[in-house]
Amino acid sequence: MSEKRKKIIAVIGGSEPSSEEARLAEEVGCELARQGATLVCGGLGGVMEAACRGASAEGGVTIGILPGDSPETANPYVQIPIATSIGYARNIAVVKSAQAVIAIGGSYGTLSEIAHALQSNIPVIGLKTWALSRNGQLDNSIILVQNPVEAVNKALNLAEG
């Protein structure tokens, strides 16, 4: 990676989070910005918006990779909107553009992002999110953490470079 590039961390989660999930997402965004990382997300509402709001409040850079074909659909805290026009296939671009992923709550869209990240050997840190087992055996690939600061520290440690 170019030396001048900042680490990019993805924050993923649902568009209809609980109030606690939204609070966690905002704190994750704040902490990413404080530690100088760039935030990438799916660009819409809920966890995505809360994380962008947190990062923006602390002066961080926010990228939103949108499913639709207009930058206008991004939440107001996205500074760099990418309009892919490929629908949920953009979920893959969200995680592939990051060096680590923080998952907060989330439904099946978030699960698809977790799966795509693990398939690409991109570390996934989980806060109150999915747990997986395969053929009766627990899969421990999602790294469970207890709070936003721990999530960000873990993500930055695991991010390549």
Can you tell me the distance from the alpha carbon of 108 to that of 30, in angstroms, rounded to the nearest whole number?
A: 26
Q: How many residues bind a second copy (CB under 8 A)?
A: 55
Can you tell me the distance from the alpha carbon of 145 to that of 128, in angstroms, rounded to the nearest whole number?
A: 9
**Polymer length of the chain:** 161
If binding is defined by CB under 8 A, does position 53 make contact with a second copy? no
Closest separation in Å from C-beta 84 to a second copy: 4
**Of 25-33, 69-77, 143-151, which part binds a second copy (CB under 8 A)?**
69-77
Single out the residue of 16, 69, 140, 157 in contact with a second copy (rule: CB under 8 A): 69
* Three-class SS state of 16: coil
- The rounded Cα 63 to chain-centroid distance in angstroms is 10
- 76's tokens: 């107001």
Report the interface residues with a second copy, using CB under 8 A.
Answer: 1-2, 4-5, 8, 38, 40, 61, 63, 65, 69-72, 74, 76, 78-90, 92-93, 96-97, 99, 105, 107-109, 111-112, 114-116, 118-120, 128-136
